[in-house]
Homo-oligomer: A and B are copies of this chain.
Amino acid sequence: MRTMLVVLAMYSLAVFAEVQNAPLNLMPMPANIKMGAGQLGVDPSFSVAISGHKEPRLQRTVEIFLDHLRRQTGMLPLDMKVSDSSTGTLLIHADSRSKEVQELGEEESYRLEITSSGAKLNAPTTLGVMRGLQTFLQLVEATPAGFAAPAVNIDDKPRFPWRGLMIDAGRHFMPLDVIKRNLDGMAAVKLNVFHWHLSENQGFRVESKKFPKLHEMGSDGLYYTQGEVRDVIAYARDRGIRVTPEFDMPGHSTAWFVGYPDLASAPGPYAVERKWGVFDPAMDPTKEHTYHFLDEFIGEMAKLFPDQCFHIGGDEVNGKQWDANPQIQAFMRAHGMKTNQDLQAYFNKRVQEIVSKHGKTMIGWDEILRPELPKSIVIQSWRGQESLAQAAKQGYRSLLSHGYYIDLMWPASQHYAVDPMSDAAANLSPEESKRILGGEATMWAEYVSPENIDSRIWPRTAAIAERLWSPQNVRDVNSMYQRLEKVSHRLDFLGLTHNTGYAPMLRRIAGRNASSALQVLADVVEPVKDYTREDTAPAVPTSLTPLNRVVDAVRPESDSARQFSNMVNAFLSGKPKPGTETEIRASLTRWRDNQVELQPLAEKSFLVKEVLPLSQNLSTLGTAGLAALDYLDHDERAPEQWRSQQLALIEQAKKQQAQLLLMIAPAVQKLIEASATPGAASAAK
C-alpha cells in the first residue's frame, strides 16, 4: 500500500511536469482536468459506440463529430465510423434524452475519460455529449506516434447558462453559408445561443407570410425564407445552440415601414435606410392597429422560431417622430405620460403581453427595464455591470453584452477581462447572482460583409466563450493567447475564413503587384477602435460602400504587434530569451525598409495609396527603434533633444491614418524612453 502511494505521488509529479511542458490546447478551459499517462491513437480505424439513451439528435451529433475529426486530421469519409456494436474507441453514454426544444439552463455537463486503450464520454443528456465531443476534438493532434489524444480525465460544466453570439443580419445581409459556418465555430467553443438580429432600418430579413411586404419591400431582396430559417434552426439544434430571433421595435424599424407605413409615427413613404446611425422613424405606440399588427406578426414568428425567448430590441428610440405627432402628444397627455420613456414603457408592456400570449419570454436591451414590466422578462445589457446588477436586484434575469461588442475592434485580452460578475455585479446576493444568465458577443454589422465577418468574430469570440464557460479564476492572458491561436487554426477546418481570407483580400488591394510589402504593413496595423471609424470616415459610409479597403482586410488585433511588444518588454526587463534583440532588430529593419517596396504598389492601386502615410510612419518607427537600440547597446544616453524629437514622431505615428492604427508605436516608444537610461541598456544586454 505504501509503495503504491509513492508510485502515485511520483506519477502526479510526472503528470504535473508534463502538463507544464505541454499545456492542453483547450478553449474554453474545462472546470476540472486530471492528466493521465500515455495517449489514445486516433487513426482510420477509430470508431464511436453509443450506449444509454439514443435519439436521432445524438446520432447526428456523432456524425458531425466524426466529420470534423476527419477534417482536422485529414482523413477520408471511409475512415472512422459509428460502431454498430457496444465496442468502439470512444464510448458515448447519455443518461436521458435532451429537451425537444433546447432550454435555457438545460444540463450541459459531461465527463470525459481518455486512456491509452480507449475513451469514455458520459453526460446526462445529448447536450453534454456535444460539449464533451468538442473537448475531444481539441485534444487530438499530430504526435510522434500518429494523431492522438492525451490520456486525461475531464469533469466539466459551464459557469453560465447563456453564452451567446449575436449576428446582425439587418445592416448587411449574411447569407446562409456565413451563418452556418459561424454556428460550427460557436459549437467548437461551446457557445449555446445564436441571437439573430433580423430587422433594422437597413433591412427586414425574414420572409413573413402574413405581411409579405415586410421582406418584399424592406430587404432589397436579401432575406431568409422560412424554409431557410427552419434549416438554420435545425442546424443549430444539432450543435446544441438555441436560436433567439430579434425583431427590433419600436425604433430601428424603418425597413418595416417601407411596406407598412401606417405602423410608423409619421406619414410615409419610407425607403430602406442606407446610412448608419439612430434615425427618427419609430412605430406608433398609440394606435391599436400597431398592436393588432404585432400580434399577428409575433404570432407568426413565435411559431417559426421554437426558442423560448423572443427578442424585441427596444433600444435607441430618439423620440423625434413622437414629439412631432400631435395625436401621440395628446395620447401621452391623456394617459399622464411625461416622457418618451414613459411612452416606450407603455409600448413594451403591450408588446410583452403579446409575446407572452404567444407563449414566449420577452427579452430586450437595457431600455426595456421598467417597473411596469413583469419579472419574467430578460434584460440584455449593453450599458454594463451596473445596469446588470440593478436588473438582478429588481428581480430580473439579465445577461451582459457591454464589454463584448466585437465590432469595436478591441483586443481579445480586453474582452477576456470583462466578467459578468465583476464591479457592481460582484456584490450581489447568491440569489441575485443566479439571475445573471451570462453574456453575448455582439457582431454589429455596419462594417462587415460576408467576406470579412469571420475575421471580426474569430478568434476573439473564443476568448469571450471561455470567460462565459470556464471557472472565474481562469484568467491568465498569456495562456489565453497561446490557446487562442490553436483554436483559431482549428476553425479553419470548419470553413471559417478569418485566416484564409486575409491574403486574397490583400492581393486584391495590391492589384497587379505582389502583395508582400502590403502584408508587412497590414500585419502591424489594426482598425481604429470603438466608434472612431464613424467619426473619421472620409465620406459618409452607407450600406452600399464597398468594404474592400485595408481597414476591412486587416485583423482587429495584430498578433505581430503584440508579439513585438512582448519581445521589447522582455528585452527591457533585462531577462530576454537569447536572440530577442536580433529579432527586434530584424523586425525594425524590415519595417524601416518596407516603404521602398510599398511605394510602387501605392502608385498602381488607389487602395494602397491611402495607406502610404501609414507606411511612411512605419518606416520612421523602424528607424527610431533601431537608433534607440544602438544607444542601448553602446550604454550611451540618447541625447534629450533626439529623444523628444523621436517621441514627437511617435505621437504623430499613433494617430489614425486611413482609419488604421500602427500598433507597434507604443513598443518603439518604450525603446526610445529606455534609451534615456544607460542602466536599462546594460541590464538588457
Contacts and interface: CB of A to CB of B under 8 A. Distances in A.
A64 to B, nearest CB: 15
Given A143-B606, A510-B142, A552-B74, A546 B504 contact: no
A604 interface: yes
A455 interface: no
Contacts of A79: 544, 546
Given A172-B76, A500-B504, A504-B493, A511 B44 contact: no
Contacts of A220: 77-78
A75 interface: yes
Contact of A607 (B142, B222, B493, B503): B142
Contact of A544 (B78, B510, B603): B78
A154 to B, nearest CB: 18
Given A142-B607, A489-B504, A73 B548 contact: yes
Contacts of A146: 606
Contacts of A222: 77-78
Contacts of A76: 172, 449, 543-547
Nearest to A78: B544
A338 interface: no
A607 B142 CA distance: 7
A75 B503 contact: no
Interface string A547-565: 1100010000000000000
A74 B505 contact: yes
A141 interface: yes
Q: Assembly of this chain: how many copies?
A: 2
A609 interface: yes
A512 interface: yes
A503 B497 CA distance: 12
B142 A508 contact: yes
Nearest to A24: B512
Contacts of A74: 449, 451, 505, 508, 546-548, 552
B508 A22 contact: no
B77 A173 contact: yes
Interface in A498-522: 499-501, 503-505, 507-512
Nearest to A608: B142
A289 interface: no
A539 to B, nearest CB: 12
A322 B293 CA distance: 77
A151 to B, nearest CB: 16
A135 interface: no
A76 B73 CA distance: 35
Contacts of A72: 508
A604 B143 contact: yes
Contacts of A451: 71, 74
A78 to B, nearest CB: 5
A332 to B, nearest CB: 38
Nearest to A274: B78
A93 B58 CA distance: 55
Given A143-B606, A548-B73, A606-B146, A504 B499 contact: yes
A145 B608 CA distance: 11
A486 interface: yes
Contacts of A509: 142
A433 interface: no
Nearest to A25: B512
11 contacts: A73-B546, A75-B548, A76-B172, A77-B173, A77-B220, A142-B511, A143-B511, A493-B504, A499-B503, A499-B504, A500-B500
Given A25-B512, A76-B544, A144-B604, 11 more contacts: A74-B508, A78-B222, A141-B512, A142-B512, A143-B606, A144-B603, A144-B606, A146-B606, A489-B504, A492-B504, A500-B503
Q: Which 8 A-B pairs have the closest CB atoms?
A: A74-B548, A142-B511, A500-B500, A142-B605, A492-B504, A75-B546, A78-B544, A141-B511
